[in-house]
Amino acid sequence: MEKDKSIKTPISSKENILKYAAKEFLKKGWEKSNIREIAKKAGLTTGAVYFHFKNKEALFDALVKNTYFDLLERQKLMYEKHFAIPITEKEKRRAVRLEGRKEMLEYAYRNFEAMKLLLCSGKGTKYEDLFDKMMNAVYEADRKAYEEYGMLQGRTHVDIELFNTIDRSFWECLFRTIKMDTPYEKAQRYVLILDDFYEAGWQKICYDPAESYALE
């Protein structure tokens, strides 16, 4: 006998807890949320919550852990692909960089809830360093890129801290789409516009010999 597709499988207690925990964390942040309120909204006792999760940390862990580590790994692979291309193939490098950024955005939206929890509600957890860890990787990528171009060999218009600040602002703009619940289709357009905007800026800073760009 064919199964009636109109009959929905009941949500498990564990899934229900995670559902309401995510809502509570997004509303109040991890620090101000509590197990009692999560249990109440899930229609369960606090004991039922503790049966599945040791504490509030474990709840947040279940919601974001995989996304946290996956995102960092994807960023690492993005830079590896970029630097695997010879420095002389400038346009190919840019294309790979743009594709990597688009893939990062797609992954973030595919895991939207976890990403928003990490970006907006992670304060006080072991995951609150996500953006800083990503920016550490960006800093190392910047340093490697400028060493390749010979821009750290006595070029007076180089300030690695400033350049890293500019790169950091790109990712802040990109992830703001998650924080603001920007529709994915619009976010896809944003990443293209941001890429053009920052690329033009880098061209000006890196290759314009004007004295106004001397930073030392």
210 confidence band (pLDDT: 50, 70, 90): low
Residues 198, 185: contact at Cβ < 8 Å?
A: no
Helices 13-28 & 112-120, crossing angle to 10 degrees? 40
Q: What is the pTM of this model?
A: 0.85
d(CA 87, CA 91) in angstroms, rounded, equals 10
d(CA 93, CA 89) in angstroms, rounded, equals 6
- Token representation of residue 19: 């559902």
- Token representation of residue 9: 């499988």
pLDDT tens-digit map of 96-150: 989 999 999 999 999 999 999 999 999 999 999 999 999 988 888 877 777 776 6
pLDDT for res 190: 96
Q: What is the CATH number of domain 9-53?
A: 1.10.10.60
